[in-house]
């Protein structure tokens, strides 16, 4: 044959050899060099992990007894979720028909539901509706031909047994948001899980949530299952016993019913245990988690009264006359003032200066010493105490008591109060600190502000002879079966302010006199000696309006017992008429309940 | 006529290699058809066995007919099959979006597969007849027509992959048959420029890469490409005219590359305008399957996972998770090699590639040893047919070739392809046997 033909055939032979060589090299590369990598990928293809949700811990009040019927604040209720894998539907028509039928059954808006599902990965299981009523599940089960590929799975729903009552203390849960997931993924959270959104549900989420287990399934490309086994058993979340007493919370809630806005804190001075904490307006957590009441939630979210704001820890107000206690402490501790000093109150005080300025008292109080000035809340007396003590010292003591910082209560979102300073004023207003500012400061008006929880800590510091504990809402954490105590929350000492017995005696006597014959005399009828102080904070913006005042009551009982038994009560009513008229009746009911619950009975508790 | 002792000259190695490959194929079709969840088999392997028997009969038949007879009737065969192809396009019922089948009772056949063999026969005959004149450019017109008429009909079916194999068959046979290398290289260059330019541009647009390359940016402007193409053709014309008057090699060296460049760019614009977006992307996904992991790249990624996860010894028969659990698509046809690689590992893949190699090398050997030009061309065409099916199918499975949906000769499920391939083996044996018959 022709030599040219042979040459060209040999060239072709060369090409063939080269190609086979390349193929073999690539096979070696895939199977031998990168074999492990691809084996891992093929394993990931066929394995599918189906989570087994862990039961979330229950929440009880402080009187929980594992062997008796106890108050359950938050529990779980078994429920059903309706789910499906969208890619199981091979025909669009069929999908639409089934979805239309299903949305009708579950009372869902068709367009929104289908749009929502379209955004998700069609190969993964989608929850169409949570907490579906049992009758709908029965309908689904008996009419499988009409609802192909629609599944349901057992789940649980959180039940807030007392609705609004514990809204701000306990909070609520919800599906993890994208932002939360980014933050929490390193702590083992998964995108499909629920997470505490507010209150203790959020603060102690890790304790309550437990850890999900999973079922390991070998699945094919259409997610049909071949082999199924439990890969990891779920670990239930721990139960939580609160320091809150249901009875006290209930009474506080009832007493606050009449007031649209405000907050109450009841706290043991010697440990920081919170017996009651509530904020108005509030909301029903059950409504938030039910999800099918979208408009209600939206209304709540957009409500100008901000029901989600926990006013006990997230709002600050001028402490008003309750701050006179601070002025007194600063004056006495710095030995700038003799408590026996008598001053005459003509109803106003004129501050001498470039232009004279009058500062008024709400009454003509006559001649008083310090205790009587506290009792009658005489501002004229305290103007002069404040001027003598100097603002630096007053603010210094406000700082010692932590009014400018967070108390550290175990609730999310706490804000600190605010302690001004000369430097701050210069920076913010470009003015120096005037004597007029001092006069305002000495009666808790002007720049200073405090949160209700901050005030509770302050009062507990007076009661406790200078020691302030971290406010705490959790007594102990128990195992899921309640047999074991997993964790106990011990009192944490936050501050220790050296206060002389003389100072404490003057302030406490003054507070006792407030109740005995002063602005809170309504409380004198109780069978326990109460001490306290009222305040009427003036808000700047609405000074001229009738209800432009916030009513404060801070106090404790029993007056004469050792601090270990003392319970601090702080009542704050926004736009209340005056401390005495609005806040004191609330405090009265709380002290009454504390009494009947035996909190002041030294032998019993 | 064939003498009795010629039966001993049957190339047994070829037959054994083929039989082994078909056996591997049937086992793999059994495995691919098995559903481990429902515990049932699709039963395709039984059909393949039936096709094998039919193919075997036809193979034996073709062994005993003098292959020159095929050459004599090559045009008749070609026309008959061309008419069958036309029939599919006009009357065929679409199966998986392609009208490629003619149904005869329970059996369906795919004329496009038979067209491959028919084209090889008619090209071999033509090239044998025009052995002396094939060096002229005009002699390439008829082979090109013979190839592109069926290609166009197959593209109408549409079956892109099958149409694609005709081109390498044509080029290899022209090359082996003695066509001028400059002509072939020019044509290949034109085709390369015409496809590479639009692909690069589509790629950069798709990936959204900030272009740092000024030259490539210029190419985005199709008008500019037309201008460049026009200028080049003018240069080529000028050089050609000069060459006409003063026959100097220098001018030829200008007008040949200039016209090649010009035509390449011209066709690239045509392709850019008329190729649909998804078609361009499909070619690109081949270059980088990660571009579209849920779409067309999915197949390649899953196939590479199947091959790679097989490792050295494989996962075992019926135990390949990629194949058994359906992650591997088209597992009994396009991606059957990946099933072999997954279940029988490196050993299995190398044995299969080796056996296919034996057939291809045997084919080349038979072409070289053939007593006449027709036999040599026929054998080389058949070898090319086997070779490109192997290159594209296995190359696709291991991610070095685009996903074009070609069966792996003797292994993939598909009656027509198996029958035609076995007929080809029959012809190869025939050529080998008649080496000493004059």
Residues B53-83: tens digit of each pLDDT: 999 999 999 998 889 999 999 999 999 999 9
Residue range A23-45: mean pLDDT, rounded: 92
Residue of A3, A12, A16, A31 to mutate, testing the B interface (most B Cβ within 10 Å of its Cβ) = A31
N residues, chain A: 605
In-domain check, residue A44: no
Q: Which of A158, A190, A210 is the last residue of a domain?
A: A210
Confidence at residue B217, expressed as pLDDT on a 0 to 100 scale: 63
**Do the beta carbons of residue A425 and residue A440 sit within 8 Å?**
no
Say whether A220 and B398 touch across the interface (CB within 8 A): no
- Token couple for B186: 């020019």
Treating both helix axes as pointing N-terminal to C-terminal, what angle do A324-333 and A452-463 enclose, rounded to 10 degrees?
A: 40
Confidence at residue A543, expressed as pLDDT on a 0 to 100 scale: 43
Residue of A2, A3, A5 to mutate, testing the B interface (most B Cβ within 10 Å of its Cβ) = A5
* Band of pLDDT at residue B195, cut at 50, 70 and 90: confident
- pLDDT above 80: residue A588: yes
Query: How far apart are the CA of B321 and the nearest CA of chain A, in angstroms?
Result: 7
List the single residue in A with minimal CA-CA distance to B391. Answer: A19
Tell whether A155 and A253 lie within a shared domain.
no
* Band of pLDDT at residue B315, cut at 50, 70 and 90: very high
* Band of pLDDT at residue A427, cut at 50, 70 and 90: very high
Q: Categorise residue A588: left if φ over 0, alpha if ψ from -120 to 50, beta otherwise.
A: alpha
Q: How far apart are CA B302 and CA B334, in angstroms?
A: 13
Which of these, A79, A81, A75, lies nearest to A50 by C-alpha position?
A: A81
In-domain check, residue B140: no
Tell whether A250 and A350 lie within a shared domain.
yes
Residues A554-563: tens digit of each pLDDT: 999 888 888 8
- Token couple for A117: 């599902």
In-domain check, residue A458: yes
Alpha-carbon B154 to chain mean position: 13
In-domain check, residue A58: no
- pLDDT above 70: residue A294: no
HEC string of chain B? CCCHHHHHHCCHHHHHHHHHHHHHHHHHHHHHCEECCCCEECCHHHHHHHHHHHHHHHHHHHHHCCHHHHHHCHHHHHHHHHHHHHHHHHHCCCECCECCCEEECCEEECHHHHHHHHHHHHHHHHHHHCCCCCCCHHHHHHHHHHHHHHHHHHHHCCCHHHHHHHHHHHHHHHHHCCCCHHHHHHHHHHHHHHHHHHHHHHHHHHHCCCCCCHHHHHHCCHHHHHHHHHHHHHHHHHHHHHHHHCCCHHHHHHHHHHHHHHHHHHHHHHHHHHCCHHHHHHHHHHHCHHHCCCCCHHHHHHHHHHHHHHCCCCCCCCCCHHHHCCCCCCCCCCCHHHHHHHHHHHHHHHHHHHHHHHHHHHHHHHHHHCCCHHHHHHHHHHHHHHHHHHHHHHHHHCCCCCCCCCCCCCCCCCHHHHHHHHHHHHHHHHHHHHHHCC
Confidence at residue A89, expressed as pLDDT on a 0 to 100 scale: 80
Confidence at residue B6, expressed as pLDDT on a 0 to 100 scale: 57
The mean pLDDT of chain A is: 87
Strands A151-160 and A173-175, by their bridges, are unpaired
In-domain check, residue A203: yes
Name the residue among B325, B349, B387 with its Cβ closest to that of A16.
B387
In-domain check, residue A75: yes
In-domain check, residue A54: no
Confidence at residue A215, expressed as pLDDT on a 0 to 100 scale: 82
Say whether A226 and B398 touch across the interface (CB within 8 A): no
Q: Where are the alpha helices (DSSP H) in A519-603?
A: 584-596
Contacts of A90 in chain B (CB under 8 A): none
Q: List the domain range (segments joined by +) for residue A539.
A: 246-596
State the count of interchain CB pairs (< 8 A) between A and B: 130
Q: How far apart are CA A558 and CA A269, in angstroms?
A: 11
Residue of A2, A23, A34, A39 to mutate, testing the B interface (most B Cβ within 10 Å of its Cβ) = A23
Say whether A41 and B398 touch across the interface (CB within 8 A): no
Query: How far apart are the CA of A223 and the nearest CA of chain B, in angstroms?
Result: 9
Q: How far apart are CA A580 and CA A321, in angstroms?
A: 11
Residues 6+ away with beta carbon under 8 Å from A449: A316, A317, A318, A319, A417, A418
Confidence at residue B360, expressed as pLDDT on a 0 to 100 scale: 96
User: Computed over its alpha carbons, how large is the radius of gyration of chain B?
Assistant: 24
Burial A62-83 (b: 16+ CB within 10 A, else e): bbbeeeeebbbbbbbeebbbbb
Tell whether A167 and A290 lie within a shared domain.
no
* Band of pLDDT at residue A572, cut at 50, 70 and 90: very high
Confidence at residue B350, expressed as pLDDT on a 0 to 100 scale: 96
Residues B99-130: tens digit of each pLDDT: 888 887 777 889 999 999 999 999 999 999 98
In-domain check, residue A443: yes
Q: List the domain range (segments joined by +) for residue B257.
A: 188-275
- pLDDT above 50: residue A2: yes
Residues A195-248: tens digit of each pLDDT: 898 999 999 998 998 888 888 878 777 667 767 788 788 888 899 999 999 999
Tell whether A255 and A204 lie within a shared domain.
no
ipTM of predicted assembly, 2 dp: 0.91
Say whether A31 and B399 touch across the interface (CB within 8 A): no
Name the residue among A11, A16, A39 with its Cβ closest to that of B311.
A39
Place of tokens 């063939």: A16
List the single residue in B with minimal CA-CA distance to A223. Answer: B325
Is B378 or A304 the better-scoring residue by pLDDT?
A: B378
Q: Which of A210, A238, A272 is the last residue of a domain?
A: A210
CATH number at residue A279: 3.40.710.10
In-domain check, residue B220: yes
Tell whether A251 and A206 lie within a shared domain.
no
In-domain check, residue B238: yes
Say whether A24 and B353 touch across the interface (CB within 8 A): yes
Query: How far apart are the CA of B229 and the nearest CA of chain A, in angstroms?
Result: 32
C-alpha distances in Å from residue A338, one per residue of A4, A231, A328, A443, A597 = 126, 74, 10, 18, 40
In-domain check, residue B270: yes
C-alpha distances in Å from residue B227, one per residue of A77, B252, B356 = 76, 22, 48
Q: Which of A183, A210, A237 is the last residue of a domain?
A: A210
Confidence at residue B210, expressed as pLDDT on a 0 to 100 scale: 56
Name the residue among B325, B376, B391 with its Cβ closest to that of A5.
B376
In-domain check, residue B132: no
List the single residue in A with minimal CA-CA distance to B338. Answer: A27
Is A293 or A472 the better-scoring residue by pLDDT?
A: A472
Q: How far apart are CA A579 and CA A532, in angstroms?
A: 11
**Do the beta carbons of residue A274 and residue A243 sit within 8 Å?**
yes
Contacts of B175 in chain A (CB under 8 A): 8, 11-12
Confidence at residue B4, expressed as pLDDT on a 0 to 100 scale: 57
* Band of pLDDT at residue A293, cut at 50, 70 and 90: low
Tell whether A399 and A488 lie within a shared domain.
yes
* Band of pLDDT at residue B296, cut at 50, 70 and 90: low
**Structural domain count, chain B:** 1
**Structural domain count, chain A:** 2
Is A47 or A441 the better-scoring residue by pLDDT?
A: A441
Say whether A9 and B387 touch across the interface (CB within 8 A): no
Residue range B4-27: mean pLDDT, rounded: 85
* Band of pLDDT at residue B3, cut at 50, 70 and 90: low
Name the residue among A5, A35, A226 with its Cβ closest to that of B311.
A35
- pLDDT above 70: residue A392: yes
Residues 6+ away with beta carbon under 8 Å from B81: B111, B114, B115, B118
Confidence at residue B219, expressed as pLDDT on a 0 to 100 scale: 64
Q: How far apart are CA B366 and CA B364, in angstroms?
A: 5
Tell whether A206 and A253 lie within a shared domain.
no
**Do the beta carbons of residue A328 and residue A444 sit within 8 Å?**
no
Say whether B308 and A37 touch across the interface (CB within 8 A): yes
- pLDDT above 80: residue A604: no
Which of these, B326, B372, B319, B364, lies nearest to B342 by C-alpha position?
A: B319
- pLDDT above 80: residue B203: no
N residues, chain B: 438
Burial B377-406 (b: 16+ CB within 10 A, else e): bbbbbbbbbbbbbbbbbbbbbbbbbbbbbb
- Token couple for A542: 């609405």
Q: How far apart are CA B278 and CA B296, in angstroms?
A: 10
The secondary structure of residue A138, as a DSSP letter, is H
In-domain check, residue B50: no
Confidence at residue B114, expressed as pLDDT on a 0 to 100 scale: 95
CATH number at residue A122: 3.90.1310.10
- Token couple for B309: 């996860």
Confidence at residue A174, expressed as pLDDT on a 0 to 100 scale: 85
Q: How far apart are CA A360 and CA B306, in angstroms?
A: 89
Residue of B32, B36, B180, B309 to mutate, testing the A interface (most A Cβ within 10 Å of its Cβ) = B309
Alpha-carbon B395 to chain mean position: 12
Is B343 or B225 the better-scoring residue by pLDDT?
A: B343
**Do the beta carbons of residue A213 and residue A51 sit within 8 Å?**
yes
């Amino acid at each position: 044959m022709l030599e040219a033909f042979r040459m060209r055939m040999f060239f072709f032979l060369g090409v063939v050899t080269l190609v086979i060589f390349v193929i073999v090299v690539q096979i070696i590369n895939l199977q031998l060099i990168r074999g492990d990598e691809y084996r891992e990928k093929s394993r990931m293809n066929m394995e599918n992990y189906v989570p087994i949700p862990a039961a979330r811990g229950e929440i009880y009040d402080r009187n929980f007894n594992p062997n008796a019927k106890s108050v359950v604040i938050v529990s779980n209720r078994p429920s059903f979720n309706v789910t499906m894998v969208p890619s199981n539907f091979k025909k669009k028509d069929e999908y639409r028909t089934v979805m239309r039928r299903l949305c009708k059954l579950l009372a869902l808006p068709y367009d929104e539901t289908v749009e929502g599902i379209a955004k998700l990965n069609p190969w993964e299981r989608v929850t169409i509706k949570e907490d579906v009523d049992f009758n709908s599940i029965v309908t689904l089960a008996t009419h499988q031909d009409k609802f192909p590929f629609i599944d349901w799975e057992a789940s649980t729903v959180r039940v807030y047994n007392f609705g609004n009552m514990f809204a701000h203390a306990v909070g609520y849960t919800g599906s993890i948001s994208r932002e939360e997931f980014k933050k929490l993924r390193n702590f083992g959270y998964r995108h499909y899980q629920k997470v505490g959104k507010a209150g203790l549900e959020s603060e102690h989420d890790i304790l309550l949530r437990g850890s999900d287990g999973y079922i390991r399934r070998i699945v094919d490309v259409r997610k049909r299952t071949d082999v199924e086994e439990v890969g990891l058993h779920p670990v239930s979340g721990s139960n939580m016993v609160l320091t809150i007493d249901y009875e006290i919370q209930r009474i506080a809630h009832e007493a606050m019913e009449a007031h649209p806005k405000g907050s109450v804190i009841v706290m043991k001075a010697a440990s920081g245990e919170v017996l009651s904490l509530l904020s108005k307006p509030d909301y029903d957590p059950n409504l938030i988690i039910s999800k099918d009441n979208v408009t209600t939630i939206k209304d709540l979210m957009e409500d100008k009264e901000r029901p989600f704001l926990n006013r006990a820890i997230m709002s600050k107000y001028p402490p008003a006359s309750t701050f006179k206690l601070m002025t007194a402490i600063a004056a006495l501790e710095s030995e700038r003032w003799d408590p026996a000093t008598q001053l005459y109150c003509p109803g106003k005080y004129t501050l001498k200066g470039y232009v004279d300025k009058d500062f008024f008292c709400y009454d003509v109080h006559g001649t008083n010493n310090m205790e009587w000035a506290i009792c009658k809340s005489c501002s004229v007396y305290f103007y002069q105490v404040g001027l003598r003590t100097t603002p630096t010292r007053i603010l210094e003591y406000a700082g010692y008591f932590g009014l400018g910082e967070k108390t550290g209560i175990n609730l999310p979102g706490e804000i600190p109060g605010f302690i001004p300073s000369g430097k701050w004023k210069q920076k913010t207003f470009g003015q120096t600190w005037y004597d007029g500012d001092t006069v305002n400061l000495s009666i808790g008006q002007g720049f200073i502000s405090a949160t209700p929880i901050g005030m509770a800590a302050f009062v507990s510091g007076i009661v406790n002879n200078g020691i302030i504990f971290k406010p705490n809402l959790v007594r102990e954490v128990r195992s899921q079966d309640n047999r074991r105590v997993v964790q106990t929350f011990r009192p944490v000492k936050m501050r220790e302010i050296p206060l002389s017995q003389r100072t404490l005696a003057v302030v406490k006597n003054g507070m006792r006199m407030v109740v005995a014959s002063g602005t809170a005399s309504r409380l004198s009828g109780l069978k326990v000696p109460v001490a306290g102080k009222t305040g009427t904070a003036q808000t700047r913006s609405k000074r001229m309006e009738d209800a432009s005042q916030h009513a404060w009551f801070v106090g404790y009982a029993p007056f004469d017992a050792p601090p270990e038994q003392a319970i601090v009560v702080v009542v704050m009513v926004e736009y209340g008429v005056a401390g005495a008229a609005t806040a004191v009746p609330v405090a009265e009911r709380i002290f009454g309940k504390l009494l009947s619950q035996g909190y002041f009975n030294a032998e019993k508790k | 006529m064939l003498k009795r002792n010629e039966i001993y000259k049957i190339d047994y190695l070829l037959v054994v290699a083929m039989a082994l490959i078909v056996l591997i194929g049937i086992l793999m079709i059994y495995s691919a058809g098995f559903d481990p969840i429902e515990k049932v088999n699709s039963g395709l392997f039984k059909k393949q066995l039936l096709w094998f028997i039919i193919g075997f009969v036809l193979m034996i038949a073709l062994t005993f007919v003098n292959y020159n007879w095929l050459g004599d009737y090559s045009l008749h065969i070609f026309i008959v099959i061309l008419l069958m192809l036309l029939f599919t396009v006009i009357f065929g019922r679409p199966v998986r979006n392609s009208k490629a089948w003619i149904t005869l009772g329970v059996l369906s056949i795919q004329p496009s597969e038979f067209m491959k063999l028919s084209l090889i026969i008619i090209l071999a005959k033509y090239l044998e007849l025009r052995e002396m004149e094939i060096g002229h450019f005009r002699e390439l017109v008829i082979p090109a027509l013979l190839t592109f008429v069926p290609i166009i009909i197959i593209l109408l079916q549409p079956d892109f992959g099958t149409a694609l194999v005709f081109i390498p068959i044509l080029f290899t046979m022209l090359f082996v048959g003695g066509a001028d290398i400059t002509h072939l290289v020019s044509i290949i260059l034109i085709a390369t420029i015409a496809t590479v330019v639009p692909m690069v541009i589509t790629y950069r647009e798709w990936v959204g890469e900030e272009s740092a390359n000024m030259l490539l940016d210029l190419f985005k402007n199709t008008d500019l490409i037309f201008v460049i193409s026009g200028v080049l053709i003018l240069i080529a014309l000028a050089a050609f005219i000069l060459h006409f008057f003063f026959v100097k090699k220098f001018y030829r060296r200008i007008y040949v590359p200039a016209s090649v460049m010009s035509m390449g760019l011209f066709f690239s614009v045509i392709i850019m305008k008329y190729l649909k977006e998804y078609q361009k992307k499909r070619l690109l996904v081949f270059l980088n399957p990660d571009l579209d992991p849920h779409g067309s790249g999915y197949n390649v990624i899953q196939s590479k996972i199947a091959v790679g996860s097989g490792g050295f010894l494989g996962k075992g028969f019926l135990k390949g998770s990629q194949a058994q659990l359906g992650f591997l698509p088209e597992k009994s046809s396009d991606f059957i090699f990946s099933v072999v690689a997954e279940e029988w590992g490196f050993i299995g893949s190398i044995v299969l590639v080796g056996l296919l190699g034996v057939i291809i090398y045997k084919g080349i050997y038979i072409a070289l040893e053939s007593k006449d030009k027709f036999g040599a061309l026929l054998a080389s065409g058949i070898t090319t047919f086997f070779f490109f099916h192997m290159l594209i199918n296995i190359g696709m499975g291991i991610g070095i070739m685009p996903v074009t949906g070609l069966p792996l000769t003797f292994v993939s499920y598909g009656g027509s392809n198996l029958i035609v391939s076995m007929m080809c083996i029959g012809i190869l044996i025939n050529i080998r046997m008649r080496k000493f018959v004059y």
